[in-house]
Chains A and B, each alone.
Chain A
Amino acid sequence: MSEFEAARVRVVAISVDLPEESEPLRKKAGYTYTFLSDPNAEVIRRYDLLHQGAGVNGHDIARPAEFLVDSAGVVRWANLTDDFRERATADEMLAAIRTLP
């Protein structure tokens, strides 16, 4: 069981990748994450995370970002770095989870 499952937090990974592209990633993660497909970057745009033309072949993709959303649908923690090489580590995400009531 992953630390997130132990904390009863569902991890949902979202990108423009198609379902068949994400399924191997889900397998690699031990089936502990949910991978969602946003091929037209609609939801990515709704969250204002669009990085135009930054993907392979100039595709629109998301810039990296993490959001902890509580059971009422309210964002409790948002992480957007200013460098696309950086992402939140598992430890940073778990620390944010510990601040939940």
Chain B
Amino acid sequence: MPEQEAAQMKKKWNWRIWAGLLTSVAAFLSYLVLFSRYPLTRDVPWVNFLLFAASGVLLFLGLRKAYREPQVYRGKISGAIAAVISTAILGLFCFGIFYASKQIPKSADAPKAGQKAPDFTLVDSTGKSHSLSSLLSEPMEGPGGVQTAPRAVMLVFYRGYW
């Protein structure tokens, strides 16, 4: 390409680099906001790993264009920075998934099968008080609309609003 032409030609915007960076941000945020709610996508975050892979491909292609055709495309430095940031986001994601979420207390003294469930009295969402024995004996609606005492109670302890 004649030098004069090259100097006067405006460099093209390297959209792949920015798409790659955006995809890695989306890969991270979409887990927190959406995919962590469903066991299928939460326990093994395959959708997010796919998004990170797509981000990697976009960044690679964008950087390749920037270095192979530097007169045509921008992005040698910004592309390198975007790649570092995306790698850091992936690293943070992996840290969260593989390490941080396993940092839960041992709960060695939690009741095991065969042990008596510790008694308690707590207030329900309507303000009514219940003890464990009342939960086990108060009638509930069963098949056929018949009100009988439950066979069992399933206690589900959850993190709550977080």
Answer whether A and B are interacting partners: yes
Residues of chain A having any CB pair with chain B under 8 Å: 1, 4-17, 19-23, 25-26, 33-38, 42-44, 46-52, 54-56, 61-71, 73-78, 80, 82-89, 93, 97, 100
Q: How far is the CB of A37 from chain B (nearest CB, A)?
A: 5
* Pair B160/A17 contact, Cβ less than 8 Å: yes
| Beta-carbon contact of B122 and A23 below 8 Å | no
CB distance from A97 to the nearest CB of B (A): 7
30 of the cross-chain contacts (CB-CB < 8 Å) are A1-B143, A5-B141, A10-B135, A12-B130, A12-B153, A12-B154, A15-B159, A17-B161, A19-B124, A19-B127, A20-B125, A36-B123, A37-B124, A48-B109, A51-B105, A52-B105, A54-B162, A55-B160, A62-B159, A63-B159, A68-B154, A69-B136, A71-B149, A73-B117, A74-B115, A75-B112, A76-B152, A77-B113, A78-B113, A86-B39
- Tell me whether A48 and B108 are in contact in the complex, defined as CB-CB below 8 angstroms, given that A6-B142, A23-B125, A74-B116 are known contacts: yes
B contact set with A: CB distance below 8 Å: 36, 39, 42-43, 97, 101-102, 104-105, 107-120, 122-127, 130, 132-133, 135-137, 140-143, 148-162
Partner among A25, A35, A76 whose Cβ is within 8 Å of the Cβ of B113: A76
Contact of A61 with B102 at beta-carbon distance under 8 Å, contacts A67-B154, A69-B136 already known: no
Q: Are A35 and B115 in contact (CB under 8 A)?
A: no
Q: In the bound complex, do residue A64 and residue B42 qualify as a contact, i.e. CB atoms below 8 Å apart?
A: no
Partner of A78, one of B108, B111, B120: B111
Q: Are A75 and B111 within 8 A (Cβ)? A: yes
Contacts A36-B124, A37-B123, A69-B152; A85 near B43 (Cβ below 8 A): yes
Q: Are B141 and A1 in contact (CB under 8 A)?
A: yes
- Per DSSP, chain A at the interface is mixed
Chain A residues with Cβ below 8 Å from B148 are: 8
Known: A55-B160, A61-B162, A83-B102. A71 touches B150 (CB 8 A): yes
Whether A69 contacts B132 in the complex (CB less than 8 A), given A37-B124, A51-B105, A82-B104, comes out as yes
A13-B158, A14-B158, A36-B130 given; A71·B102 CB < 8 A: no
A86 touches B150 (CB 8 A): no
